[in-house]
């Protein structure tokens, strides 16, 4: 299961990145995240980020890729499913475009994706819309 949402934002890419990369602030602008815990300092590869979301147990994601000012990916792997979330900002006419992607793979990834796909797509879409509203405010 893989889902990607793209949102155009009428704000400079630096503004969208500033909001997106400040992960501990996510609960202040998106209803899909209730708490984020991480170590001190900016995001970095190898950093573990604990994300709490409504109706889910807190989940630890490890940052696997990071291009400052542009993108980061984090994920988690279990015995039967691997989850990965990508976050990318790029310049576009009159502002920027943000791409948010969520994937589940592995022996149970397809099954869990089929069961939770609607909720996952809704959450990603809500995060994209919430980021747009925050960056354009």
pLDDT value for 132: 98
Amino acid 113: pLDDT: 77
Mean pLDDT of the chain: 94
Domain tally for the chain? 1
Above 90 in pLDDT, residue 135?
A: yes
Q: Give the span between the Cα atoms of 93 and 79, in whole angstroms.
A: 43
| Per-residue pLDDT tens digits for 52-96 | 999 889 999 999 999 999 999 999 998 888 999 999 999 999 999
List the end-to-end C-alpha distance of the chain, in Å, as a whole number: 33
Cα–Cα distance measured from residue 58 to residue 41, given in angstroms and rounded to the nearest whole number: 21
Range of the domain at 29: 2-136
- Torsion region of 74: left, alpha or beta (phi above 0 gives left; psi -120 to 50 gives alpha): beta
CATH code of the domain containing 28 = 3.30.530.20
Mean pLDDT of 8-23: 98
DSSP 71: E
109 pLDDT more than 80: no
Find the radius of gyration of the CA atoms of the chain: 14
Residue 114, judged by CB atoms within 10 A of its CB (0-12, 13-18, 19+), counts as exposed
The rounded percent of the chain whose pLDDT value lies above 90 is 80
The rounded distance, in Å, linking the Cα atoms of 109 and 98 is 25
């Amino acid at each position: 299961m893989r889902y990607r949402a793209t949102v155009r934002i009428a704000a400079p890419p630096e503004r969208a990145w500033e909001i997106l990369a400040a992960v501990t602030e996510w609960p202040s602008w998106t209803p899909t995240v209730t708490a984020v815990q991480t170590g001190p300092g900016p995001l970095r590869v190898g950093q573990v980020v604990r994300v709490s979301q409504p109706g889910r147990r807190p989940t630890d994601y490890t940052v696997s890729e990071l291009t400052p000012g542009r993108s980061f990916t984090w994920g988690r792997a279990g015995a039967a499913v691997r989850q990965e979330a990508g976050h990318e900002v790029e310049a576009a006419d009159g502002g920027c475009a943000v791409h948010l992607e969520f994937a589940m793979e592995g022996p149970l990834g397809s099954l869990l994706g089929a069961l939770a796909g609607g909720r996952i797509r809704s959450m990603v879409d809500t995060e994209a819309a919430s980021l747009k509203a925050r960056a354009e405010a």
